[in-house]
Amino acid sequence: MTYPVHTIETAPGAAKEVLAAAQKARGFVPNLYAVMADAPALLKAYLRVGELFDETSFSPTERQIVLLTVSYENSCEYCMAAHSAIAGMQKVPGDVVQAIREGTPITDPKLQALHSFTRSVVASPGRPTDAQAASFLRAGYSRSQILEVVLGVAMKTLSNYTNHLADTPLDDAFAKQRWSKTG
């Protein structure tokens, strides 16, 4: 199935302002937003959920771990590339991003616990075992952060599924971070 990659001019009226704001803030309209513009409510929901995820108690590095992990588990090539680039801009350690991209363990035990727990939430779906939750809590995370992981999973599910349905073309800005799941 294909969807149009809208421009500000071709987008439905309710999405034009959102795309214009993205253009102003980023210098370009990400293709994901341009595809989501076909359903303005989806575009607005995705961006709002992203704003709320930024308000969680997770650090920028931890947030990117959640988003990259969900994208890896869902085999979303677009989001893996985009969030690899964003992680670099946010100074997420390169070895952490590389580990997630390669499907290998993260060397930092607390960050690995976040990665593992996020994987369990996606794989279950939404039904991690008590042992998995206990391991996450023992690593130093809180009960509320379990629910914050759910918020990150919800955010990435919106974009991962959209990208799968639309086969969203990768933006030039993310091309150096192109990714595909091996194995």
CA–CA gap between residue 80 and residue 74 (Å, rounded): 10
Q: What is the pLDDT of residue 22?
A: 96
Q: What is the pLDDT of residue 144?
A: 98
Q: What Å distances lie between residue 44 and 63, 64, 174, CA to CA?
A: 20, 21, 22
Q: What is the pLDDT of residue 1?
A: 81
Q: Is the pLDDT score of 183 beyond 70? A: no
What is the pTM assigned to this prediction?
0.95
List, for residues 10-33, the tens digit of each pLDDT value: 999 999 999 999 999 999 999 999
**Beta carbons within 8 Å of 55's beta carbon, 6+ residues apart:** none
Local confidence band at 181 (pLDDT 50, 70, 90 cut-offs): confident
Q: Is the pLDDT score of 47 beyond 80? A: yes
Q: Is the pLDDT score of 3 beyond 70? A: yes
CA–CA gap between residue 1 and residue 160 (Å, rounded): 15
* Class in CATH terms, 57-177: mainly alpha
Q: What is the mean pLDDT of the chain?
A: 97
